[in-house]
């Protein structure tokens, strides 16, 4: 027998179907393994994704809380500022009201005093109303005065129209007592400088018994605030005030309180 001769095999041939099933099973196992592995991988990958989805919600809650806190803080600051402004306005209103009340009280007091003074002046004028007629019509020897009285009156008439200046004693300006003192100096009589002292420098006389040269005063004797000289005929000459200067007036213009005689 030739070595190359075909020797019939006694092994039974494997059916084709069985070979296909085996191959299919192997392939299925491999696919199953891959599927399981893929599923495991998918699960491992999805977990971080779930964590990632939760973070935005958490951050949003924090942001909302912070925003609400900021709004509340800002509102509290605004409320505090409003309260401060209201309290400041109240304080200013109280201060203004107090100042207005003080001003009103001061004006009321001034008006009260002015009314009282006006009443006193009116009463004084009324009490002397009967004297005015006799003073203006009284016939007296001084109307034709001579000697020292005439010199006194002449000097006073020469000063008419000159200025009133507080503290002045001549020759271009006078205050009330400065004029009286200067007039009496013309006839050699020295008088005190101020009206308070001049109102007690001589003998007190009644206003219904005046003579030329008598010193008239306004206010109380010893505390008079104004003086002038009676020139007869119901008239006097005096340095009245800065607006009128040295003037001649009727006794009815401003009735004096009293008079003293030094001649």
Residue 161 maps to which CATH number? 3.90.1720.10
Q: Are residues 116 and 156 in the same domain?
A: no
Q: What is the pLDDT of residues 15-71, one digit of tens each?
A: 544 444 445 444 455 444 444 444 444 444 444 444 445 555 557 777 787 878 888
Closest listed residue to residue 120, CA positions, set 261, 241, 257: 257
Block residue for tokens 């002046």: 121
Q: Are residues 142 and 244 in the same domain?
A: yes
CA–centroid distance for 210 within its chain: 55
Give the pLDDT confidence score for residue 168 in this predicted structure: 96
Q: Are residues 145 and 221 in the same domain?
A: yes
| Average pLDDT of every residue of the chain | 77
Q: Are 238 and 249 in contact (CB under 8 A)?
A: yes
Strand ranges, E, within 113-241: 163-164, 173-174, 203-205, 215-218, 226-232, 235-241
| pLDDT class of 244 with cuts at 50, 70, 90 | very high
Mean of the pLDDT values across residues 76-90?
A: 84
Which residue, of 79, 104, 127, is where some domain finishes? 127
Residue 5 forms part of a structural domain? no
Q: Are residues 86 and 146 in the same domain?
A: no
Closest listed residue to residue 232, CA positions, set 174, 149, 151: 149
> Total structural domains in the chain?
2
Q: Are residues 70 and 113 in the same domain?
A: yes
Range of the domain at 90: 18-127
| pLDDT class of 7 with cuts at 50, 70, 90 | very low
Of 96-105, 160-169, 188-197, minimum mean pLDDT range: 96-105
Which residue, of 112, 127, 142, is where some domain finishes? 127
Which residue, of 96, 127, 158, is where some domain finishes? 127
Mean of the pLDDT values across residues 156-161?
A: 97
DSSP code for 16: H
Q: What is the pLDDT of residues 108-137, one digit of tens each?
A: 887 787 777 777 766 666 665 555 544 443
In the chain, the percentage of residues whose pLDDT exceeds 90 is 43
In the chain, the percentage of residues whose pLDDT exceeds 70 is 68
């Amino acid at each position: 027998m030739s070595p190359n001769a075909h020797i019939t095999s006694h092994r039974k041939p494997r059916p084709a179907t069985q070979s296909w099933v085996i191959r299919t099973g192997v392939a299925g196992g491999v696919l199953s393994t891959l599927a399981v592995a893929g599923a495991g991988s998918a699960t491992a990958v999805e977990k971080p994704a779930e964590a990632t989805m939760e973070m935005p919600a958490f951050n949003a809650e924090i942001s909302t809380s912070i925003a609400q806190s900021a709004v509340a803080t800002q509102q509290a600051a605004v409320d505090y500022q409003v309260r401060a402004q209201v309290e400041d306005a109240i304080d200013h209103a109280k201060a203004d009201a107090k100042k207005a009340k003080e001003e009103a009280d001061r004006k009321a007091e001034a008006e009260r005093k002015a009314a009282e003074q006006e009443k006193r002046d009116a009463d004084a004028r009324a009490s002397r109303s009967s004297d005015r007629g006799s003073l203006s019509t009284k016939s007296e020897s001084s109307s034709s005065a001579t000697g020292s009285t005439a010199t006194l009156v002449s000097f006073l008439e020469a000063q008419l129209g000159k200025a009133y200046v507080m503290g002045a004693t001549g020759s271009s300006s006078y205050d009330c007592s400065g004029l009286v003192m200067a007039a009496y100096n013309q006839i050699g009589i020295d008088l005190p400088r101020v009206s308070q002292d001049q109102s007690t420098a001589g003998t007190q006389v009644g206003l219904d018994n005046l003579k030329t040269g008598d010193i008239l005063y306004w206010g109380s004797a010893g505390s008079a605030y104004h003086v002038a000289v009676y020139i007869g005929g119901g008239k006097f000459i005096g340095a009245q005030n800065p607006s009128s200067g040295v003037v001649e007036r009727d006794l009815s213009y401003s009735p004096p309180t009293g008079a003293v005689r030094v001649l």
